[in-house]
């Protein structure tokens, strides 16, 4: 049993990548690589890339909620709660990934901050 196993069931990273929409997760991965590159070559961009990852992950969850609402509308509300919550669980994955990228950008900014 791991430390955070009560928060997130053990799933592989490729499974989470597919559950969280490959398009959104790919864009967030590109932002993560850009963040790591910016930490090395262009530290002034770390804040902006972290904020962009957070904003894109919020946009991704909003689009996922829109798709869920559209599915409810098409089915006239006749969707099982298990199916609905499974879809909402999948739309939270990009949000968690974007928050991790944003927190990483904050840590990089703290480490790279000039000392007095």
Question: What's the rounded Cα separation, in Å, for the pair 60 and 70?
Answer: 15
* Domain-embedded: residue 5: no
Quote the pTM value. Answer: 0.80
Q: What's the DSSP call for residue 115?
A: P
- Give the range of the structural domain holding residue 101, as residue numbers without chain letter: 15-112
CA distances from 27 to 5, 7, 8, 17, 62 (A): 27, 25, 23, 11, 16
* Domain-embedded: residue 67: yes
* Domain-embedded: residue 1: no
CB-based burial, 6-31: b 16+ in 10 Å, e otherwise: eeeeeeeeeebbebbbeebbebbeeb
* Domain-embedded: residue 106: yes
Tell me: the pLDDT tens digits for 62-97?
988 888 888 888 888 677 888 878 878 888 888 989
Q: How many domains does the chain have?
A: 1
pLDDT at 92: 86
Written as six digits, the tokens of 76 are 């006239």
Q: Is 89 exposed, middle or buried (0-12, 13-18, 19+ CB in 10 A)?
A: exposed
* Domain-embedded: residue 4: no
């Amino acid at each position: 049993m791991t430390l955070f196993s009560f928060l997130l069931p053990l799933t592989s990273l490729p499974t989470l990548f597919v559950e969280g929409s490959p398009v959104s997760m790919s864009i967030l991965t590109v932002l993560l690589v850009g963040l790591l590159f910016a930490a090395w070559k262009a530290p002034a961009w770390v804040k902006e890339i972290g904020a962009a990852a957070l904003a894109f992950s919020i946009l991704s969850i909003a689009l996922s909620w829109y798709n869920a609402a559209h599915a409810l509308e098409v089915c006239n509300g006749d969707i099982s709660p298990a199916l609905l919550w499974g879809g909402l669980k999948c739309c939270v994955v990009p949000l968690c990934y974007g928050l991790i990228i944003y927190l990483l950008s904050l840590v990089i900014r703290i480490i790279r901050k000039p000392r007095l």
